[in-house]
Amino acid sequence: MSWNILEGGLPQGGADHRAAITSLIAAARADVVVTVETYGLGAAIQAALGGGYHGVPITRKPPGEGDNLWIFTRLPILEVYPEPSGPILTSFNAGGVRLQGPDGDIDVFAVWLTYLEDLIQPMEAIVGKATTAPPTREDLDTLTALDAKRVEQVRLLLDDYVGVHSDPDRPAIVAGDFNTISHLDWPAELAGAPGHHGIALECPVTRAIEEAGFVDVYRAVRPDVRLDPGGSWATEQTFAAPYRIDYIFARGAVSAEAAWMLAERRPGDAAQQFCSDHAPVIAELWTAHEQDRGR
């Protein structure tokens, strides 16, 4: 399970969603939970999950003072990897652990890429124009350029962090809020999909992750973008296009059996009351050995 819980469940000027968030996470009973914007809720999440779980503060900040990323798991924790060296990629953006799985070790990395140079609002503006006139090459290049900082961060993540700490032969999971859309959702052949309005984009962040050998779990299980746009942001707003910016990626001897979201967004969906502005992403994953013995 991977979920941005919005300011620790207590957004400024908003309702207190902490109890709803901890209850939802506990009810999911995932073996591994990655939380983003945890901000002081780590201890309550661990308590809700119960004594069989351990919580690891990935972001090296005191509770409630910027502790963005956490990993919670019922699997034995073999190693907590050191924080990234920064300054472009710090423990606020990424970190990981090595877990003892049923048939071998598994790496899990929690990720949050910067929201600066926001992609969504400029894209909404271009989508709005595209209803009456096709997007120009300049429009599309402008959107791609907005990912420059996130591309820099993801390259550091893949090359200097995951590449250093994760053995290529060991299964690995990378999950979190990437603040950008996927090349699997916005290729040229899907320019006519609902909410796309003729737009096709490069999406260099997710493409780099794919080139590093990772599979987008949600899209592997739900390949039809028209049926499952997978909009994970934002629950309290109405958008003309679907924005899937929260992901679970897997590499190695891992098979995706199922993947889904709670509060998934589709183009034109009315705003709804939910305990976060992000939809949780949940996946059922099995190692090759678990499959061989019938799970």
Question: Which H or E run contains 123?
Answer: helix 120-130
Long-range pairs, 223-229, Cβ under 8 A, ≥24 = 225/184, 225/185, 225/190, 225/193, 226/190, 226/193, 226/194, 228/264, 229/185, 229/193, 229/194, 229/195, 229/264, 229/265, 229/266, 229/267
Q: Which residue has the tokens 């499959």?
A: 291
Q: Which residues contact 133 (CB under 8 A, 6 or more apart)?
A: none
User: Phi/psi at 131 (nearest 5 deg)?
Assistant: -70, -20
The Cα 31–Cα 104 span in angstroms is: 15
The Cα 234–Cα 182 span in angstroms is: 16
Q: Is 72 helix (H, G, I), strand (E, B) or coil?
A: strand
User: Which residues of the chain fall below pLDDT 50?
Assistant: 293, 295
pLDDT of residue 14: 86
Q: Which residue has the tokens 């509770």?
A: 63
Q: How many residues does the structure list for the chain?
A: 295
pLDDT of residue 291: 52
User: Based on C-alpha coordinates, what's the Rg of the chain?
Assistant: 18
Average pLDDT, the chain: 94
pLDDT of residue 277: 96
Tens of pLDDT along 76-115?
999 999 999 989 999 999 999 999 998 899 999 999 999 9
pLDDT of residue 11: 94
Instruction: List Cα–Cα distances, 232 to 148, 157, 174, 191, 294, in angstroms.
Output: 22, 22, 17, 20, 32
Q: Which candidate, 80, 81, 30, 24, places its Cα nearest to that of 53? A: 30
Cα torsion 77, 75, 161, 63 to 10°: value is -70
Tens of pLDDT along 137-179?
999 999 999 999 999 999 999 999 999 999 999 999 999 999 9
Instruction: List Cα–Cα distances, 222 to 21, 214, 219, in angstroms.
Output: 26, 16, 5
Report the 10 Å Cβ neighbour count for 161.
22
Domains in the chain (CATH in brackets) are 83-292 (3.60.10)
pLDDT of residue 119: 94
The Cα 194–Cα 190 span in angstroms is: 9
Q: Which residue has the tokens 């423990």?
A: 91
pLDDT of residue 293: 46
